[in-house]
């Protein structure tokens, strides 16, 4: 069946990095993106805007510049993957909402560990765990950040809700993209070590990914401020950390990957910016769009 993952067909997956590093990853996708094949679309991923950081107006200026560039560029909609404000400071939520009013595309936000749940719900959006469908793909958004820890979680009721979302997606023939602030994927030193630990929901999440391995395409996160960094070692799902619009840090990931001290992929670009994702025709491309500059680095994975 063309829409099923066929593990018997040999190594046809081609992984491209125009600029970047990819470690070998397990598994081969075959026709697994068929539901989205006829509908290639793009969307924008913004994360970690940290409005109010260091009482510096720069973060808000970066957000407004980003919005202007997003308005002028590709993308059907925008995802904001959390840490909208810095240190949960209330006065910056109305400032975010005022800047957001300039965006001419739909936007879907989730909170990060710097966000306050009550303020987020009051100012940003009335519901955190939610989903929407776009061109054959169900986007499942959920809050998984503690306000007092860098590690993430999935509560039992969230697992139950996500299970229902996956079942619905399967019944409707939709692929699935997950969005949450804190990565689920383990990332010990020399990475940051911030993730959803096994007993806090990681095991349950990967059980779900395995059950729906023919349709889970992507898991998108913010949180790390390390540019585009990720893995593809749980079935076909590409787990990605997206860059911060506020600041990114050089943590020598390129060197650590080369030396085998870390696994996965990294696009060596650390300017403030956002990601333009394109999905369909058996390919995912994540373009790193630095503020004020053209795209010149990307991660791309293709399945045939």
Q: Which residues bind Fe ion (CB under 5 A)?
A: 83, 112-113, 223
**Cβ closest to Fe ion, residue 209 vs residue 241:** 241
Q: Which two tokens stand for residue 193?
A: 């070590």
Q: Provide the minimum distance between the beta carbon of 181 and Fe ion in the complex, in angstroms, as a whole number.
A: 6
Q: Provide the minimum distance between the beta carbon of 113 and Fe ion in the complex, in angstroms, as a whole number.
A: 4
d(CA 300, CA 7): 21
**Cβ closest to Fe ion, residue 35 vs residue 119:** 119
**Cβ closest to Fe ion, residue 32 vs residue 46:** 46
**Cβ closest to Fe ion, residue 144 vs residue 287:** 144
Q: Provide the minimum distance between the beta carbon of 269 and Fe ion in the complex, in angstroms, as a whole number.
A: 20
- Do 81 and 46 contact (CB within 8 A), yes or no? yes
**Cβ closest to Fe ion, residue 223 vs residue 234:** 223
Q: Provide the minimum distance between the beta carbon of 108 and Fe ion in the complex, in angstroms, as a whole number.
A: 17
Q: Provide the minimum distance between the beta carbon of 292 and Fe ion in the complex, in angstroms, as a whole number.
A: 24
Neighbours of 148 (CB within 10 A): 5
Residue indicated by tokens 């630990």: 197
**Cβ closest to Fe ion, residue 83 vs residue 165:** 83
Smallest CA-to-CA distance from 61 within 301, 298, 291 is with 291
**Cβ closest to Fe ion, residue 25 vs residue 47:** 47
3-state secondary structure the chain: CCCCCCCCCCCCCEEEECCCEECCCCCCCCCCCHHHHCCCEEEEEECCCCECHHHCCHHHHHHHHHHHHHHHCCCCCEEECCCCECCCCCCHHHHHHHHHCCCCCCEEECCCCCCCHHHHHHHCCCCCCEEEEECCEEEEECCCECCCCCCECCCHHHHHHHHHHHHHHHHHCCEEEEECCCCCCCCCCCCCCCCECHHHCHHHHHHHHHHCCCCEEEEEECCCCCCEEEEEEECCEEEEECCCCCCCCCCCHHHHHHCCCCCCEEECCCCCEEEEEEEECCEEEEEEEECCCCCCEEEEEECC
- Do 18 and 291 contact (CB within 8 A), yes or no? no
Q: Provide the minimum distance between the beta carbon of 143 and Fe ion in the complex, in angstroms, as a whole number.
A: 12
Q: Provide the minimum distance between the beta carbon of 246 and Fe ion in the complex, in angstroms, as a whole number.
A: 11
Q: Provide the minimum distance between the beta carbon of 111 and Fe ion in the complex, in angstroms, as a whole number.
A: 9
**Cβ closest to Fe ion, residue 103 vs residue 242:** 242
């Amino acid at each position: 069946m063309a829409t099923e993952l066929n593990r018997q067909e040999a190594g046809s997956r081609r992984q491209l990095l125009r600029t970047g590093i990819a470690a070998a990853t397990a598994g081969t996708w075959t026709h697994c993106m068929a539901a989205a094949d006829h509908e290639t679309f793009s969307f924008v991923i913004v994360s970690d805007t940290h409005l109010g950081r260091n009482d510096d107006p720069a973060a808000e200026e970066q957000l407004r510049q980003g919005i202007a560039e997003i308005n002028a560029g590709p993308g059907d909609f925008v995802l904001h993957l959390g840490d909208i404000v810095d240190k949960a400071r209330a006065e910056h939520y109305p400032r975010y909402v005022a800047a957001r009013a300039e965006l001419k595309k739909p936007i879907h936000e989730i909170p990060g560990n710097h966000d306050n749940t009550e303020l987020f719900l009051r100012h940003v959006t009335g519901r955190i765990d939610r989903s929407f469908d776009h061109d054959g793909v169900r986007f499942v958004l959920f809050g998984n950040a503690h306000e007092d820890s860098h590690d993430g979680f999935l509560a039992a009721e969230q697992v139950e809700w996500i299970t229902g979302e996956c079942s619905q997606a399967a019944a409707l023939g939709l692929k699935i993209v997950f969005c949450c602030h804190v990565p689920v994927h383990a990332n010990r030193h020399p990475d940051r070590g911030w993730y959803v630990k096994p007993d806090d929901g990681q095991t349950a999440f990967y059980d779900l990914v395995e059950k729906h391995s023919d349709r889970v395409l992507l898991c998108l996160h913010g949180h790390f401020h390390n540019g585009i960094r990720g893995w593809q070692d749980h079935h076909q799902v590409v787990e990605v950390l997206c860059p911060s619009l506020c600041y990114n840090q050089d943590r020598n990931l390129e060197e650590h990957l080369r030396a085998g001290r870390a696994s996965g992929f990294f696009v060596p670009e650390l300017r403030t910016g956002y990601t333009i994702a394109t999905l369909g025709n058996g390919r995912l491309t994540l373009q790193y769009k630095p503020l004020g500059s053209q795209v010149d680095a990307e991660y791309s994975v293709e399945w045939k």
